[in-house]
Structure 1
Amino acid sequence: MIKLLRSLVLAGLLGVLSAPAALAAEMGEDGLHKQDWFTITFRDMAEDIETATDEGKRLAVIFEQRGCIYCRAMHEKILSDPEVSDYIKANFMVVQYNMFGDEEVIDLDGDTLTEKSAARKWGYVFTPTIVFLPESVPEGKTVAEAAVATMPGAFGKWTFLNMFRWVQEKGYAGDEHFQKYHARIINDLREEGRLGND
């Protein structure tokens, strides 16, 4: 009986110790963490917007770079959370870009660029940076000009998830600024007992 209990405790302890590794995202050959639900495209921005819209989703482009500790934290702590990943998968088509990559990108204005020159053109300098695009293809605008919202840098679960919700709910087209929306949601979560008062 004692041997059985020791075996069960050991198995449980090993499960707990190995859990973070199970939650870790796969590492691609480009040195970027990968989610199996990210969409691989030809990086034609107009085509990607149309594809996302046809699927009843919004397009979000995420810039990352090799060795980015904030990107790693985002994948391992935020995108591994089912509440976050399930919401994003249901409502967004996410395409990953390498901040210093050489893959070809076609901007909304027709320019053909590399990922790294697109990041420079659009003014994105932090990783991760998530860019949210409109539901329809705008004429003559660049991605940076057409974006309905941009989330530069790494944030905690609720800021991250609430930005996706705010975009999905088209908060950018209304009068409630994201910060007000976020504060309201956080207050609701506290009242529901899902968050502490810290």
Structure 2
Amino acid sequence: MIRRAFLALAALTALTGLTSQALTAGIGEDGLHKQDWFALTFRDVAEDIEAARDEGKRLVMVFEQRGCIYCAKMHEDLLSDPEVSDFIKANFKVVQYNMFGDEEVTDLDGDVLTEKTAARKWGYVFTPTLVFLPEDVPEGMTVAEAAVATMPGAFGKWTFLNMFKWVAEKGYEGDEHFQKYHARIINELRAAGRLEAE
């Protein structure tokens, strides 16, 4: 009887350890949530734009910080949704930046900075902040100047996904502002009976 109780306790301990490990597997040593499909690069933004283009994709940079509840929401609620993640993976190369990190970054204008000094230079103060870059490397501009769109903060599924779609469709080159585009898509989803609560 004691032996059975011991084996049951050992099995429960192993299961609890496994569950705990699975829950923390998505957090890196820097304390940021991770997606296994995020790109690991040298953070040379011009090279990353070119690499994304060579893959038929666009570059998006995402700024996060340790302990950010909105970053956790983005990873747990949005990036875990196959409709969202599949579209992003197919169309974008995502590179993660630590808002207060010390990794080296090379700006489009050639400045070599740390992640935290780059965030300060570019004026990014919220996490998460997603920065969408053009298809071609602009000359003599900073990342902030070259960005075709910036999304500060965490939003609901459709706002989040529609921003990626608007950029992929180059909506920033046309006359339909993102908010108008988003409203149109929401109306189409509502008409199709697909609208989920934001």
Q: TM-score range by the shorter chain?
A: 0.7 to 0.9
> Does the CA contact (< 8 Å) of 1:61 and 1:96 recur in 2?
yes
Q: What is the 5 A alignment of 1:20-35?
A: 26-35=26-35
What is the SS of the residue equivalent to 2:95?
A: strand
What is the SS of the residue equivalent to 2:30?
A: coil
Q: Which residue of 2 aligns with 1:103?
A: 103
What is the SS of the residue equivalent to 2:36?
A: coil
The AA in structure 2 aligned to 1:94 is V
Note the C-alpha offset of 1:110: 0.1
The percent of aligned pairs where both chains have the same amino acid is: 81
Q: Which residue of 1 aligns with 2:112?
A: 112
* 2:136 counterpart of 1:139: no
What is the rounded CA distance, in whole Å, between the counterparts of 1:131 and 1:69 in structure 2? Answer: 19
Residues paired across the two proteins, number: 179
Render the CA deviation track for 1:104-137: whole Å, top value 9, x for unaligned: 0000000000000000000000000000000000
Render the CA deviation track for 1:153-197: whole Å, top value 9, x for unaligned: 000000000000000000000000000000000000000001268
What is the rounded CA distance, in whole Å, between the counterparts of 2:52 and 2:24 in structure 1? Answer: 27
Q: Which residue of 1 aligns with 2:193?
A: 193
* 2:192 counterpart of 1:174: no
> Does the CA contact (< 8 Å) of 1:126 and 1:153 recur in 2?
yes
Render the CA deviation track for 1:86-107: whole Å, top value 9, x for unaligned: 0000000000000000000000
What is the rounded CA distance, in whole Å, between the counterparts of 2:197 and 2:84 in structure 1? Answer: 21
Runs of 4+ in 1 over 2 A off after TM superposition: 21-25
Note the C-alpha offset of 1:28: 0.0
C-alpha spacing 1:76/1:24, structure 2 compared with 1 (3 Å): farther
Q: What is the 5 A alignment of 1:16-165?
A: 26-165=26-165
Q: Which residue of 2 aligns with 1:5?
A: none
TM-score with structure 2 length normalisation? 0.87
> Does the CA contact (< 8 Å) of 1:52 and 1:58 recur in 2?
yes
> Does the CA contact (< 8 Å) of 1:129 and 1:150 recur in 2?
yes
> Does the CA contact (< 8 Å) of 1:40 and 1:95 recur in 2?
yes
> Does the CA contact (< 8 Å) of 1:24 and 1:75 recur in 2?
no
C-alpha spacing 1:23/1:191, structure 2 compared with 1 (3 Å): farther
Note the C-alpha offset of 1:23: 8.4
What is the SS of the residue equivalent to 2:94?
A: strand
What is the rounded CA distance, in whole Å, between the counterparts of 1:174 and 1:117 in structure 2? Answer: 33
Q: Which residue of 1 aligns with 2:9?
A: none
What is the SS of the residue equivalent to 2:189?
A: helix
> Does the CA contact (< 8 Å) of 1:23 and 1:76 recur in 2?
no
